[in-house]
Amino acid sequence: MTELEKKGFSHNFIQSIVLYPEKMDEGRILKQIDFRFPVYYEGMKAMKLGCPTKVKSRRYTVCDRKNKEKTMKVILQNLTKKFPGRSKNGPKEIAAVDDFSFEIPDGKLIGLLGPSGCGKSTTLNLLCGLQKPTSGKIFFGEEDVTDLPAEKRGVGVVFQNYALYPHLTVKQNILFPLENLKGAQKLSKAEMMEKANEAARLVQIDDLMERKPSELSGGQQQRVAIARALVKRPRVLLLDEPLSNLDARLRLQTREEIRRIQRETKITTIFVTHDQEEAMSISDEIVVMKQGVIQQTGRPQEVYDAPVNLFVAKFLGTPPINVFQGRIKGQKLYIGEEVIMETKDLPDQEVFVGVRPEGFVLSKDGSFSCELKGVEVMGRDISVVCANRASVNPTIRAIISAENKVDASRALVRFTLKPGKVFVFHKETQERICFLKD
């Protein structure tokens, strides 16, 4: 390690000075350096580069995000949170988060997805430090933050109800986290305003700074909450059900907005939702949870295309997957008495068969017959509602292209099934047994 590295300069920076000293003008150096750390300052003196006058007058400056390793990966290691059980006869402890191990890549948007009560919010609280884990560890980058209090973790949180201070204006709300800074981090009024304005511009609310939260629409409040969470440049941004308080149209718009902000800031972002559509649409990766246990992680499409168990298959997708009682006999998959398709190397057993709504293809001589109950026209495509005795739910929904004509007066419809859209699950463990690909 060189002298300069000890002083906190990045390896790349030193190399570029050594290799191309003539190219390192004042502006470039300014861009590279985060002046909040005095070591940089001293380092510059050591290099006899001299201190630019601009730096002297302003102790701190907004650092250039692209060159700073501000964002970081988040690692959860066997994270467990148990709460004391309430009921006398029930278990003594309830694990809200159970042995949670997961690595969140640097600068990505991760959706924590699961039905209510599955421990998503507890996970979020553990991440931001409002709750302490029973066991396990949390790392931000290389740093173990498990025992750090919330304020020292450098996280920004957007709460479900936004938690904007109602008696303060938008500006005061955004300034609030900055005004908490103490000691060496303390900023001057002008610097605070600059940072607040920058955050406000990022979420496009710079013209609403003097309003009170009650004078804003739900979407605008949401943006203010994001700006307040971002103004301190957190290492990790946490969003708790960010869209649940918005109406349908605004929800679409806001989720794109969150995506854009995340892309621009490149801050590792974790957001919690029970809405699978929301999670799938904007996340780089999703984590599907059930009762405190991770079911599956992966890119949204991967998880959708290859669910590991019946729960994940049921949870993702609208309309939901159709589930049938089926069985495997003599290398053939049966639903009811009908042979659906061939299977390979599977022992005879009772199974659950899941078929995605888009996995049905109308076909006159299809192997799978259903009792037709009705046809719903949705413009782009049509939804065929039918019934089958083997179905777990009373109705089956098949989505087919609107170019197909379905005669609603017919009693029976026949389908063939697309192999990639059919999943076979073990009857007891509900784990997926196989894919049925060609």
Partner 1 sequence: MDKKNWKGWLYLLPAILFLGFFLVYPLVDVFIYSFEEGYNSASQTYFGTGLYNYSYVLHDPYFLQAVENTFILVLITVPVSTGVALLISMGLSSIKPLRDLYQTIYFLPYVTNTLAVGLVFMILFKKTAYTDGLINLMLSWFGGNAIDFIDGPYPAKMFVLCFYTIWVVLPFKILILTSALASVNRDYYNAAKVDGTSGFRIFRKITLPMISPMIFYLVITGFIGAFKAYSDAVALFGTDLNAAGMNTIVGYVYDMLYGNSGGYPSYASAAAIILFAIVLTITCINLLISRKKVHYV
Contacts to partner 1 by CB under 8 A? 128-130, 150-152, 155-157, 159-161, 163, 165-168, 176-177, 180-181, 214, 228, 232
Q: How far apart are CA 67 and CA 56, in angstroms?
A: 22
Nearer to partner 1, 128 or 286 (CB): 128
Residue 236: CB minimum distance to partner 1, A: 11
Q: How far apart are CA 294 and CA 122, in angstroms?
A: 13
Nearer to partner 1, 150 or 193 (CB): 150
Nearer to partner 1, 51 or 130 (CB): 130
Q: How far apart are CA 221 and CA 212, in angstroms?
A: 10
Nearer to partner 1, 211 or 329 (CB): 211
Q: How far apart are CA 368 and CA 417, in angstroms?
A: 8
Q: Are 256 and 262 in contact (CB under 8 A)?
A: no
CA–chain centroid gap for 237, Å, is 11
Residue 164: CB minimum distance to partner 1, A: 8
Residue 155: CB minimum distance to partner 1, A: 6
Residue 229: CB minimum distance to partner 1, A: 8
Tokens representing residue 134 in the block: 């029973």
What residues are paired with 323 via a beta bridge?
354
Residue 215: CB minimum distance to partner 1, A: 11
Nearer to partner 1, 123 or 276 (CB): 123
Q: Are 409 and 436 in contact (CB under 8 A)?
A: no
Residue 157: CB minimum distance to partner 1, A: 5
Half-sphere exposure of 286 (CA within 13 A, CB side): 28
Phi, psi of 145 (to 5 degrees): -105, 10
Q: How far apart are CA 229 and CA 174, in angstroms?
A: 8
Nearer to partner 1, 152 or 410 (CB): 152
Element (H, E) at 371: strand 368-377
Nearest one of 366, 71, 373 to 236, comparing CA atoms = 71
Residue 278: CB minimum distance to partner 1, A: 21
Nearer to partner 1, 33 or 178 (CB): 178
**Vertex 102: Cα angle to 270 and 228 (nearest 5):** 20
Q: Is the dihedral of CA 157, 163, 165, 171 positive or negative?
A: positive
- Helices and strands counted in the chain (H then E): 13, 21
Residue 256: CB minimum distance to partner 1, A: 25
**Vertex 391: Cα angle to 305 and 419 (nearest 5):** 35
Residue 39: CB minimum distance to partner 1, A: 23
Q: Are 144 and 305 in contact (CB under 8 A)?
A: no
H-assigned helices in 154-299 = 170-179, 189-202, 218-230, 248-265, 276-282
SS3 71: coil
Contacts of residue 366, Cβ cutoff 8 Å, sequence gap at least 6: 414, 415, 416
Nearer to partner 1, 128 or 294 (CB): 128
Q: What is the Cα gyration radius of the chain?
A: 27
Nearer to partner 1, 24 or 150 (CB): 150
Nearer to partner 1, 236 or 340 (CB): 236
Residue 167: CB minimum distance to partner 1, A: 4
Residue 126: CB minimum distance to partner 1, A: 13
Nearer to partner 1, 213 or 307 (CB): 213
